[in-house]
Amino acid sequence: MQQRDVDNPPVEVQAEKQESLVKTSLVTNSAPTELSRSVIFLDREISQIAFNWRVLAQAEDKNVPLLERLRYLCIVGSNLDEFFEVRVASLLAQNTVDGELAQHPAFLATLDRIGQECHELVARQYAVLNQEILPQLSKNGVHLLRHNDRNEAQRAWVKSYFEREVRPLLTPIGLDPAHPFPQVVNKSLNFIVSLAGKDAFGRGTAIAIVKAPRVLPRVIRLPDELSDGGVALCLLSSIIHAHIADLFNGREVLSYSQFRVTRDSDLWVDEEEVKNLRQALQGELQSRQFGVAVRLEVAKNCPENLSDFLLEQFSLHRNRLYPVDGPVNMVRLSELVDHVKQPNLRFPPFTAKVSGKYAHTDIFTLLNKQDILLHHPFQPFQTVIDFIRAASVDPCVVAIKQTIYRTGMNSDLMESLIVAAQQGKEVTVIVELMARFDEEANINWADKLQRAGAQVVYGVVGLKTHAKLALVIRREEGGVLRHYAHLGTGNYHPSTTKFYTDFGLLTAHPELAAEVNEIFIHLTGLTKPKKLDYLWLAPFALQPQIIKAIRNEAKIAKSGRPGRIIAKMNALLDESVIRALYAASADGVKIDLIIRGACALRPGVPGLSENIKVRSIIGRFLEHSRIYYFRNDLQHDVYLASADWMNRNLFRRIEVAFPVLEKAQKKRVISEGLEPYLKDNVNAWVLDSEGEYQRKRVRGKQQSFCAQQYLMQHLGSLSEGS
């Protein structure tokens, strides 16, 4: 889906008959027909691909520093990997019976559309790499050298590197009845080779497979003395290409190609059947590498007979073959970014500003006076780390409870929890073992925490624990137990907090913190949760509370007073919430939605959603915060949440939305988390009624305004010259 880079208003294209059908289905709340569904909702998968076109636009933007443009190309590659591993794999699994793909016309049409969009996206991705990024890097002294680009001295060094570091780790496999096609690991780099002549035993084995060692870097830097004053690099794939004939002494190499297969990587365990979820998941992690193949990437010049052979081996249709003009795993080019130190090729350095009152005051004393609202990465996550660290060594703290969804392999937070457990505090950690692609790290932390004496539980069977909660219980003057809580929109992950935008609230509000404790009791004891007055908890009350708040704005608007909703999140897909928004729009509520990724709501349709506007912000930081704002007759209700408005978040996960209670902090969330993004005309894309995204442009005498730049300058410390 090539998105239009214009700033014209959307064109209304909905027919009168379709409007009538939409209104009828909204009023009756009937199950939409296939026709009405396509009118009311945008396709989830196509919307997700559209998000990647917007990321790719960042790589095409000449105002973005060169290495950052390359990084965006890598992000597109990583996003597409996950899209195939999860979304496409899920679609195929749902529509496969006895090994045969269903022939339902709607499904086949969706699959064809996905294939067409992805092929176009990948072709453009590699065109940007080869025609823009690499030539510009070369002009700046950063040379990614192919075999033909290397001079004699460089070739000699590469040959020596191959013989010393690469060849000893290679195991070429000539295919014959004793050596069938090998197991190929998900997303690994491999080579297929066509051979002429006889092997050492007089047989005519024609095909060989060579697996690239996963332990070697994919980008290798040549010595400075061979770099002509710049930086000379080459890819591992290029080194193997140049010397692949050396692996087949006495044979003629007719042709060869690198290839990479993407597999279904969604883990599944029957949580009701297994006795030990952690052990079962550890077993599944091994099999993830060899799931059902869903995509095959080969070099653009791969001979057709070799690509056909691979398609047959992986049982793939030709429309899932992706010939690429460059490395088959563009994600690994991120290693190139790490080799280059030129600051002019990167974003200007940014440092989150530490508030003096947080840095030099006892955190518990401060929280007894006021809540602390943090806006990451513009304000440091270190304040949250310090909160848990202080609790781990404070003799007055008797208990710490925390949820963990993603935290990474190295985590000061986890180390502090281990220290607290070792000191005899009651430490309870709810670890989500099924956090996609972080399962191994979470299993390791669960083991370490248990060995330190912490109580580790794995949440609720069948529901991912996605809520971001921490609770500290402290025995204070008079023997009274006081609760201190942290609630957030993002993960307790030390790396992502530096480039994901999120909000966090530290509070000692007695009722709010007590409700956090109730949620922990519910999750560990599997008890029925008590009625909560402040927190909205999924899967029980979150969706009904969201719809109730939307309907309240509609009721206000129908009575003639202003109704207003602003919501910011990663994705909007839940059909019941979308219907409630449509109905509120019809009643006159003005609705602005800031949706970074997939959006199934179709804005600007007469009679359906003419009062709804949708925009997406793609910039230096990943927009990750979830904010729900309802005007509510000037009550200005502001909720921060861990949940997007998706069916999985509202019904298949433990999620929490929490209110911002202090008036000044409500204003902060609105003025930092919503208003700048509605004003942005640099990184904003506006969704029209046809499902197309149009990039906002500065017009005439308008001043450019970038929300993230504004927040960096006003909340953090941005280097001069930015």
Could you give the residue numbers annotated as active site?
466
Backbone angles phi, psi at 260, to 5 degrees: -150, 130
A 10 A CB-CB count for 159 gives 14
Instruction: For CA atoms 566, 570, 576, 579, give the dihedral sign.
Output: positive
Residue 292 and residue 99 in contact, taking contact as beta carbons nearer than 8 Å: no
500 is in an annotated binding site: yes
State the Cα–Cα distance between residues 601 and 583, nearest whole angstrom: 12
Tell me: is residue 79 an annotated ligand-binding position. Answer: yes
- Identity of residue 429: V
Q: Which two tokens stand for residue 655?
A: 């999620």
**Distances from the Cα of 11 to the Cαs of 7, 365, 610, 692, in angstroms?**
12, 57, 12, 10
Residues 658, 642 contacting (CB under 8 angstroms): no
Give the whole-angstrom CA distance, residue 685 versus residue 694: 5
Between the CA atoms of 527, 531, 535 and 540, what dihedral angle is there, to the nearest 10 degrees?
Answer: 60
State the CB neighbour count (10 A cutoff) for residue 481. Answer: 11
Edge to edge, what strands does the sheet with 231-235 contain? 142-144, 231-235, 219-221
Residues in the chain: 722
| 403: CB partners within 8 A, 6+ apart | 429, 430, 432, 465, 467, 468, 469, 470, 523
Name the token pair of 674.
């919503």
Neighbours of 526 (CB within 10 A): 11
Cα separation of 519 and 497, whole Å?
Answer: 24
Task: Render 636-667 in DSSP notation, one character per residue.
Answer: -EEEEES--BSHHHHHSEEEEEEE--SHHHHH
Helix axes 152-161, 236-243, angle to 10 degrees: 90
Token pair for residue 295? 């995509």
Look up residue 445 and give its two tokens: 């932390």
Interatomic CA distance for residues 58 and 275, integer angstroms: 47
Q: Which residue's structure tokens are 């703290």?
A: 397
Q: Which two tokens stand for residue 705?
A: 């305004």
**Residues contacting residue 96 through CB under 8 Å, at least 6 positions apart:** 102
From CA 405, how far away is CA 418, in angstroms rounded? 17
329 is in an annotated binding site: no
Determine the Cα–Cα distance for residues 689 and 612; give it in Å rounded to an integer.
10
Cα distances (Å, whole numbers) of residue 237 to 70, 112, 258, 408: 19, 31, 7, 29
State both tokens at 337: 């970014």
Q: Was 624 annotated as part of a binding site?
A: yes
> How does DSSP assign 328-378, residue by residue?
S-GGGGHHHHHH---GGGSPPPEEPPPPHHHHSS-HHHHHTT--EEEEETT
Q: What span, in angstroms and rounded, lies between the C-alpha atoms of 564 and 636?
A: 9
Give the C-alpha distances (Å, rounded to integers) separating 345 from 66, 243, 432, 459, 707. 5, 33, 38, 44, 22
Annotated binding site for ATP: 79, 500, 596, 624
Annotated binding site for Mg(2+): 406, 436
Annotated binding site: 79, 406, 436, 500, 596, 624
